[in-house]
A and B are shown apart, each in its own frame.
Chain A
Amino acid sequence: MKDRKPLYLMTPALAWLTAFMVIPCLLILALAFFRRGLYGGIEYTFTLENLALVFDPLYAGIFLKSAAIAGLSALIAVIIGYAAAFAIAAAPSRRQPILLFFAVLPFWSNYLVRTYAWIVLLNREGLITGLARWLGYDAEMPRLLYTEGAVVVGLVYNYLPFVILACYAPLSRLNPEIAEASRDLGASSWTTFRRVVLPMTVPGIATGFVFVFVLSIGNFVTPALLGGGQFQMIGNLIYAQFLTANDWPFGAALSMVLIAIMMGLLTLQTFATERASGAKREES
């Protein structure tokens, strides 16, 4: 088969992606620069007002808040995920695949269901309150569900398996002799971990952090269900512009800024990974 033949194999799929992904996304890009019509429609005159509005303190605040929640979730997920990945990598090698399989298994179940599981645990008549009562805690329980804390727990819970996977990859590839050499030269376990193992596994940490952050900052399901509409994150704001407020150009502008943040982070992460692997090559 010549090099030209593959075109007709690829055409149907590429046409589909062009029609239902590339063009719609370009449309969103264009919409951000149009004016909102009087009755929720779109007026086709060029404007930068929508983009400017994104940086209005009110909306910039929501961006910052989303970033804070996403950052906190990513940080916690990376700490727990790294510890778990380290423990898996330290297990006997024949047990590692099965441990990894069960660490990732929850990730395969429905996102809504995994989030709902936390509503079951955290609601006013839920298991945690019940457990506290049973243990003899009689005072008024603080509200658990519909708080920022619940949203962070939900995000960590949902994305933890990915972080474990991302951190396990570099940990399992690490040559154990390097750590042993460090110990032989007199470094303590902690020093060896901090100065040798940790720096060599930064790519996994970066991948895990960026992944959780990117998926969390634009998330709309978890804040809606576990935050209970008590506060808005950027995903909910975009949702509202399209389905309730009917201000599509502003919603498009919000999405554009969100995508820009995500792309920036993903590029940074690729850069970090490439630099780390480049540094390793120079060492050897």
Chain B
Amino acid sequence: MASLANPRLMLAILAAVFAFLYVPISVLVALSFNDGGLPTAWTGFSTRWYGELLHNRDIMSAAFNTLVVAVVSTVLATILGSLLAIGVEIRRRKGRFLETIIFAPMIIPDIVLAIALLSFFSLLNVTMGLHTVILSHVVFNLAFVCSVVRARLKTFDWSIVEASTDLGASTPVTLVRIVLPVMLPAVIAGALLAFTLSVDEFIIAFFTAGAGRDSITLPMQIFAMIRFGVTPEINALATIVMAVSVIALTLSQRLNRGGLPGQ
């Protein structure tokens, strides 16, 4: 490519694109530390808006709800998704139908899954709340965990498993002592990804949380606040939420890139 490229033009493109990508977020982060809180005048560095968050009961309860949803759905999705990944990778025949079912939660539009689940829970007369959000989040989370773990297992030598079985180990023992250590980094990477997706997920939670005030998650709270306009508190909250997902996902990528242990 380099032979076709005008270096100055390339530099200009990169500068423009990165400015487009980073200026909006940077402004937001900078304003969250602006003492006066107004977007038009810088009145000094301050963390007071972060302090205000701690005293906002709605935000704290929403943050707690999000933590509950994210932790429970991540644990469930990690177990189900990892087992699914092993199951699919052990099989020698790959079924197109199976692949579609596993792939679907990742590409199905949020709004469609959200209304489908809303109709489903309503027709079954299930009272909706945090538990229905958890049930719903596990759907896409397990698919993501499964795909991360599968990528790792693709390079796994299954003859080791046969050797373990031949030497008399039962299947659960083989899974825990042979397969698990190899796939553990991918399992943790998948869990971090699932946790982040769940913390950030808005639409499905919005539709499946029911009408109760006590089942509002953080993204739902942010959505409600944003509709009323820009406040320094939202800037601070947005900065925290952004930092959490970026850190968790960078960590997840790191873990996933490392080679197999012992290699």
Q: Report the separation of the CA atoms of residues A14 and B138 in the bound assembly, to the nearest whole angstrom.
A: 12
Nearest opposing residue in chain A for B112, CB measure: A255
Assess the A20–B117 pair: CB atoms within 8 A.
yes
**Digit string of A196-221 for contact with B (CB within 8 Å is 1, else 0)?**
01000000000000000011001011
Interface presence of A174 (CB below 8 A)? yes
Assess the B226–A3 pair: CB atoms within 8 A.
no
Interface presence of A105 (CB below 8 A)? yes
Interface presence of B234 (CB below 8 A)? yes
Measured between beta carbons, the chain A residues less than 8 angstroms from B10 are: 86-87, 90-91
Interface presence of B54 (CB below 8 A)? no
Q: Report the separation of the CA atoms of residues A266 and B250 in the bound assembly, to the nearest whole angstrom.
A: 29
Q: How far is the CB of B259 from chain A (nearest CB, A)?
A: 17
Measured between beta carbons, the chain A residues less than 8 angstroms from B18 are: 102-103
Assess the B105–A17 pair: CB atoms within 8 A.
yes
Q: Given A183-B3, A218-B109, verify A120-B235 contact (CB < 8 Å).
A: yes
Assess the A1–B101 pair: CB atoms within 8 A.
no
Measured between beta carbons, the chain B residues less than 8 angstroms from A14 are: 84, 101
Q: Report the separation of the CA atoms of residues A135 and B88 in the bound assembly, to the nearest whole angstrom.
A: 61
Interface of B is mostly: helix
Assess the A171–B1 pair: CB atoms within 8 A.
yes
In this complex, the member of B13, B23, B113, B143 whose beta carbon has the largest number of chain A beta carbons within 10 angstroms is B13
Q: Report the separation of the CA atoms of residues A14 and B143 in the bound assembly, to the nearest whole angstrom.
A: 10
Q: How far is the CB of A179 from chain B (nearest CB, A)?
A: 6
Which single member of B21, B84, B138, B246 contacts A160 (CB below 8 Å)?
Answer: B21
Assess the B28–A120 pair: CB atoms within 8 A.
yes
Q: Report the separation of the CA atoms of residues A74 and B199 in the bound assembly, to the nearest whole angstrom.
A: 27
| Partner-B contacts on A (CB < 8 A) | 1, 3, 5-10, 12-14, 16-17, 20-25, 27-28, 31, 80, 83-84, 86-91, 99, 102-103, 105-106, 108-121, 123, 125-127, 130, 157, 160-161, 164, 171, 174, 176, 179-180, 183, 189, 192-193, 197, 214-215, 218, 220-221, 224-225, 235, 238-239, 242-243, 248, 251-252, 255, 258-259, 262, 266
10 A/B residue pairs, CB under 8 Å, sorted by A: A10-B87, A12-B80, A17-B105, A28-B112, A28-B119, A112-B202, A116-B28, A116-B238, A118-B24, A239-B111
Interface size classification for chain B:
35 or more
Assess the A17–B142 pair: CB atoms within 8 A.
yes
Q: Which 7 A-B pairs have the closest CB atoms?
A: A9-B87, A10-B87, A24-B116, A90-B5, A13-B84, A6-B87, A117-B24
Assess the A113–B39 pair: CB atoms within 8 A.
no
Q: How far is the CB of B110 from chain A (nearest CB, A)?
A: 8
Q: Given A14-B84, A161-B21, verify A125-B111 contact (CB < 8 Å).
A: no
Interface presence of B167 (CB below 8 A)? no
Measured between beta carbons, the chain A residues less than 8 angstroms from B38 are: 125
Q: Report the separation of the CA atoms of residues A103 and B22 in the bound assembly, to the nearest whole angstrom.
A: 9
Assess the B111–A3 pair: CB atoms within 8 A.
no
